[in-house]
Amino acid sequence: MTYQAPVRDILFTLEHVCGLEALEETGAFTDLSPDLVRAIITEAGKFTTQELAPLNRTGDLHGSTLVDGIVTTAPGFKQAYTKFVEGGWQGLSFAEAEGGMGLPGVLGVAFMEMLQAANMAFGLGPMLTMGAIEVLIQAGTEQQKQTWLPKLITGEWSASMNLTEPNAGSDVGALRTSASPQADGSFRLKGQKIFITWGEHDCTENIVHLVLARTDDAPAGTKGLSLFLVPKFLEDAAGNFTVRNDAFAIGLEHKLGIHGSPTCVMEYGGSTGAIGWLVGPEMRGMAMMFIMMNSARLNVGAQGVGIAERAWQQAFSYAQERVQGRIAGQGPQPSAIIHHPDVRRMLVDTKAKIAAARAIVYACGLAADMARVGTTEKQRDMAKRREDLLTPMAKSYGSDIGVEVASIGLQIHGGAGFIEETGAAQHYRDARIAPIYEGTNGIQAMDFAGRKLGLQNGLLFDEMIADIHETATACRAAQNTQIEQIANPLQRAAQVMEETVNWMADPARKPEDVLTGATAFQALSCEVIGAHYLAKAALSAVRLVGTKGVNTGFLQGKIELAHYFAMSVLPSVAGRAKQVTIGAAAIFSLDEANLAP
């Protein structure tokens, strides 16, 4: 089977877990209503399921080809991209004044989940274009906006994001690409960038490269970096974009997965110098890049959820079809493997984790919207704090779950899962990049345990923990046995989280001790906050029982998942806390010579 967008789960998460209503109440989105949300998500589900999902394996098999600087994408990609433009999907969450649909960003996140699930290699192009649009909206000059935004927002043009160089991945301060100012106010760029997603392709007429580079005499390190807009085609005298810029793909990477996505080695200024313009102030390249990165981090979280959902659906379907082995006490006939406890356990466990990750990702998207359109400063500030807290969690938990579920999905297939034709292996390969790009999950953990914990004296965490306690209290009063059973584990887990926060935030703590525990701290927080959102889902489900048009079994399922997660995942939190506080000595006392084989 191929992918079927989980419209029912997505809508439930938006409306009854994250509280989309709050966004409707701000009045910032004129026509926003439950009916509109339903219509948009349903349509997005149809588009991704019908047009993009069937091309997923095609992209994997054919990849892209590069001949003389020209990249040709896999069969069907160009046609599907045309439909993507026709649907106006690139502009979903951008203002109508800018040519978009004027919908909230969180709906863009939900769309992103479906897009990535349907076809991760395809979806990466629009994901990066989205980040570039954000930068131009927030920091572009009026002329830049007028020139580049309209066709980026329709999707007629795409964008790429150029950070990495052969010697500088996560350490952007070491970048060497240079930008020399010209008399006309433009710059000439020179340098090589690697791992450039959709850096060159045949789906759009033009490509807008956003490139981090160092101006002449700029200081070393990150503070000397500036961001430049370098189009593939420059404007000619007649106002058409026909002049080829000196920005070429000179190589395509051979990757483990996402073969359909052209990952380019880009050469800027190989002959005459690539013409570009500064975006935002000089030396503020990092700030510009963080606008893109924040958009991309959240979307990579959505991508992880998407690939997990797709892998899960395939494993679920296989488990229903594959008849093998008998069930103890149920006669001699063989049974579908979904009835075998260990297979069932894997399916329930992964479904619960996907639901938790989806809730964290969407909650982050909603907070980002509220931070922008909240009606009071207090509301906006609070939402901003929540967005800041959840962004590294969304990225890391979503992408980690993506890999975990893809791996278990393959396992459920048994030997067939290892055969490429089955398709489960592609998810396992594709998913593996998400914990790496847009800042490795280790770097997310440094952001989470370092910068985010330091903001406003830990207020981001205090507010979240208070929310979790509130949810635990509500569970206790739910008048539903399963939900009541969640209350104590959730409360205890929140206490453990609070203890680890206090340990990490202790001013006497050495940085290396904080960094040693950062990944465990992030993982622990994701599990506790995931349980909190699943509990909120269960509480909503109880309230909704009896509502016309809502399936009672579906609601009961939300209660079961929250209960399972609380009983199965939350008990691991205390153990993780010991990893948080283990201290740097535990890993550095083994010196390199004795660590070696």
Site for a copy of itself in 258-317 (CB under 8 A): 309, 313, 316
- Which listed residue (149, 403, 465, 562) binds a copy of itself by CB under 8 A? 403
Active site residue 438: yes
Of 5-13, 175-183, 283-291, 367-375, which part binds a copy of itself (CB under 8 A)?
Answer: 5-13
CA–CA distance, 275 with 230 (Å, rounded to integer): 6
For the segment 78-137, give every residue that binds a copy of itself (CB under 8 A): none
Look at residues 577, 570, 578 and name the one whose alpha carbon lies nearest to residue 487. 570
Task: Map the footprint of a copy of itself across residues 13-52, applying CB under 8 A.
Answer: none
Q: Which residues between 127 and 166 bind a copy of itself (CB under 8 A)?
A: 164
Residue 212 as a binder of a copy of itself (CB under 8 A): the answer is no
Contact status: 433 vs a copy of itself (CB under 8 A): yes
Among 289, 361, 445, 475, binds a copy of itself (CB under 8 A): 445
- Minimum separation from the CB atom of position 270 to a copy of itself (A): 22
Q: Please, what is the minimum distance in Å from the beta carbon of residue 328 to a copy of itself?
A: 4
Q: How far apart are the first and last CA of the chain?
A: 45
Q: Annotate 146-177 with DSSP letters as a single string.
A: HHHHHHHHHTSEEEEEE--BTTBSS-GGG---
Q: Which of 438, 463, 498, 592 is catalytic?
A: 438
Q: Return the residues of window 185-204 that contact a copy of itself according to CB under 8 A.
A: 194-195
What is the smallest separation between the CB atom of 169 and a copy of itself, expressed in angstroms?
5
* CB of 342 vs a copy of itself, minimal distance in Å: 4
Q: Which is nearer to a copy of itself, 187 or 521 (CB)?
A: 521
For residue 29, how many other CB atoms are within 10 A of its CB?
A: 20
Angstrom distance (rounded) from CA 63 to CA 511: 44
Residue 526: its H or E element: helix 511-544
CA quadruple 565, 571, 572, 578: dihedral positive or negative? positive
Find the shortest distance in angstroms from Cβ 561 to a copy of itself.
7
CA-based Rg of the chain, rounded to a whole angstrom?
Answer: 24
Q: What is the footprint of a copy of itself within residues 503-542 (CB under 8 A)?
A: 511-512, 515-516, 518-519
Lookup result for tokens 């004129």 = 30
User: CA–CA separation, 290 vs 287, rounded Å?
Assistant: 5
Confirm if 301 and 438 have CB atoms less than 8 A apart. no
Q: Which is nearer to a copy of itself, 369 or 447 (CB)?
A: 447
Among 36, 137, 168, 474, interactor with a copy of itself by CB under 8 A: 168
Judge residue 146's burial from the number of C-beta atoms within 10 Å of its C-beta, 0-12 exposed, 13-18 middle, 19 or more buried. Answer: exposed
Using the 8-state DSSP alphabet, how is residue 426 labeled?
Answer: H
Among 103, 366, 446, 531, binds a copy of itself (CB under 8 A): 446
> DSSP state, 447?
I
Q: Collapse the DSSP code of 281 into the 3-class scheme (helix H, G, I; strand E, B; otherwise coil) and give the result.
A: coil
Q: Is 411 a residue that touches a copy of itself (CB under 8 A)?
A: yes
Applying the rule CB under 8 A, the residues between 316 and 345 that interact with a copy of itself are: 316, 320, 324-325, 328-329, 334, 338, 340-345
Minimum distance, C-beta of residue 245 to a copy of itself, in the bound complex (Å): 25
- The number of C-alpha atoms within 13 Å of 116 and in the hemisphere containing its C-beta is 30
Q: Which residue, 229 or 289, has its beta carbon nearer to a copy of itself? A: 289
Instruction: Indicate the residue among 18 and 524 with the shorter CB distance to a copy of itself.
Output: 524
| Bridge pairing between strands 274-279 and 206-215 | unpaired
| Least Cβ distance, residue 22 to a copy of itself (angstroms) | 26
Pairing of β 247-252 and β 233-235:
unpaired
Query: Minimal distance in Å, beta carbon 26 to a copy of itself?
Result: 31
| DSSP letter assigned to residue 164 | -
Reading phi first (left if > 0) and then psi (alpha if -120 to 50, else beta), residue 115 is in: alpha
- Is the CB of 135 or the CB of 315 nearer to a copy of itself? 315
Helix (H) or strand (E) holding 259: none
Nearest to a copy of itself of 244, 344 (CB atom): 344
Q: Give the residue with the Cβ less far from a copy of itself, 92 or 514.
A: 514
C-beta closer to a copy of itself: residue 246 or 447? 447
Separation of alpha carbons 290 and 74, rounded Å: 31
Instruction: Label residues 454-491 b or e (16+ Cβ within 10 Å = b).
Output: eeeebebbeebbebbbebbebbbebebebbebbbebbb
Of 217, 215, 216, 177, the residue nearest 194 (C-alpha): 177
Of 211-219, 282-290, 369-377, 420-428, which segment contacts a copy of itself by CB under 8 A? Answer: 420-428
Residue 574: CB atoms within 10 Å: 14
- Least distance from a copy of itself to the Cβ atom of residue 145, Å: 31
Tell which positions 221-260 bind a copy of itself, by CB under 8 A: 253-257
The nearer residue to a copy of itself, 278 or 559, going by C-beta atoms, is 559
Using the rule CB under 8 A, which residue among 170, 379, 488, 491 binds a copy of itself? 170
The SS3 assignment for 248 reads strand
Q: Choose between 218 and 584: whose C-beta lies nearer to a copy of itself.
A: 584
Name the phi and psi angles at 432, rounded to 5.
-65, -20
Closest CA to 572 of 525, 539, 534, 507: 525
For residue 100, the minimal CB distance to a copy of itself (Å) is 29
According to CB under 8 A, which residues from 370 to 389 bind a copy of itself? none
HSE, side-chain direction, 13 A CA sphere, residue 225 = 24
Q: Which two tokens stand for residue 512?
A: 């290396």
Window 463-502: contact mask with a copy of itself (x via CB under 8 A): ----------------------------------------
Q: 535-564: which residues touch a copy of itself (CB under 8 A)?
A: 553-554, 556-557, 560-561, 563-564
Positions marked active-site: 438
